[in-house]
Amino acid sequence: MPSPQTQPSTEFVEQVHTVLEQLYDFAFLQTHPLARQRPSGEQRPGEMAGHQLRRELIDAIEALNPGRNIPFLSPRARLYHLLHMHYVDGLTVQKAANALGISLRQAHRDLRHGEETVAAIVWARRTNEQPADSAPSYSSQTEVERLKTRPRLTDIRDLLERGHKAGEKLIEARGLHLNQAIPTQSALVLVDPVIAQQVWISLLCYCVGHAQAGPMLVQLQMTGECAVITLQYVPSQETDSQWNVDPAVMQLAAKLDWVIKVEDESASTSRRVTIRIPLHKATVLVIDDNAGLAELIERYLTGQTCRVMAAHNGWTGLQMAQDLLPDVIILDVMMPDMDGWEVLQILHSAPATASIPAVICSVLHNPDLAASLGATLYLVKPIRRDDLLGALHQVGIV
């Protein structure tokens, strides 16, 4: 058997070039030959081929990051910053060249070299992968992973009430009655109410279907870190002792960061089902017309207790800020229709959002203007992981 080719072909380099040029055109990426030749080892459940291809190339660019201790304009760092500014941040070659202090001609030469380097990284990673023998099988997890969550501040008490109404006839038919211990004060969590409602209704109906006639306790308790919903009932004699809720329900719960636990009470015949719901997960709202910034920030915050939400224009960002009341807003300046300066002024004129820390993130360097309009901090693109974490640390997020 001939040994594998150690360097990418000219055709492969050109394919990488075309993908980089269309990095945020999902329809183009989805049908590109490189997306159809997906490496098996890097697949994430439910991730579309086009999204994986984009992530694969951005990760290859990140592999060239020389680190924070290398000067921004040094030759070693220039290749990474040029690729990042042009392809990830979406700057024109001329603007990227100006930021790096090089000629347009030099920038084009460096970009070509950078494309070849990125192609070599992708090629090396792919040739170390074993090709998939068959198409991935369908699963409920695939469908769950495709769902986009749309968190809103939601009162858990409303979820419980709607679930009760949905299952009322089933509850009566089973000869059950609910004893509810629900606090009178609001129990707000940041959650996708549609997904949350389906998880609660499914769990309630499952327990009702396996309970013997009589009382069923539904309790909501609030602690400093989480809300706990408890369902307690006596299983019917026909109920299998093994807990076997539909896997899709468990996967939906996991998508919400809800933890479901089942316990058979040792001192009685009852069963207790608890749902632990985190009350607060720091929310970072990114307002930038370039989708790549939110994706990059999400990768930078891997392992942190943060949720990254993205708005791709100023109007959407203002609406999301009102709905989510995020812990911090990262805001671009150069956006069509409504630029970041106008967004910043509106944010700080509205009582609900005036106290939310706003971090300007732009290729332009105008921190004095940002501060005068109420910005808390200023980051210059291309943003680095250490700088982002440092900024979020200053505002108490990480």
The CATH number assigned to the domain with range 282-394 reads: 3.40.50.2300
Structure tokens belonging to residue 169: 């006839």
pLDDT (tens digit, 9 = 90+) per residue, 244-254?
677 788 888 88
Domain range summary for the chain, segments of one domain joined by +: 10-127, 152-278, 282-394
In DSSP terms, 377 is beta-bridged to: 359
Structure tokens belonging to residue 129: 């992968």
Report how far residue 318's alpha carbon sits from residue 294's, in angstroms, rounded to the nearest whole number.
Answer: 16
* Residue 144 pLDDT level (bands cut at 50, 70, 90): low
pLDDT for the residue numbered 220? 93
Report how far residue 340's alpha carbon sits from residue 209's, in angstroms, rounded to the nearest whole number.
Answer: 53
* Residue 140 pLDDT level (bands cut at 50, 70, 90): low
Mean pLDDT confidence for 31-47:
64
**pLDDT of 110 strictly over 60:** yes
Residue 274, number of CB atoms within 10 A of its CB: 16
pLDDT (tens digit, 9 = 90+) per residue, 330-344?
999 998 888 999 999
Pick the CATH number of 152-278 from 2.40.37.10, 3.40.50.2000, 3.20.20.70, 3.30.565.10: 3.30.565.10
% the chain with pLDDT above 90 = 28
For 378, list phi and psi in degrees, rounded to 5.
-135, 125
Preceding peptide of 382 cis, ω within 30°: yes
Using the 8-state DSSP alphabet, how is residue 279 labeled? S
174: left (phi over 0), alpha (psi -120 to 50) or beta: alpha
Name which of 102-116, 130-144, 307-321 the model is least confident about: 130-144
pLDDT for the residue numbered 5? 55
Kindly report the pTM of this predicted structure: 0.49
Report how far residue 340's alpha carbon sits from residue 57's, in angstroms, rounded to the nearest whole number.
Answer: 28
Contact between 109 and 79 (Cβ < 8 Å): no
Alpha helix (H) residue ranges in 128-192: 140-146, 156-166, 168-173
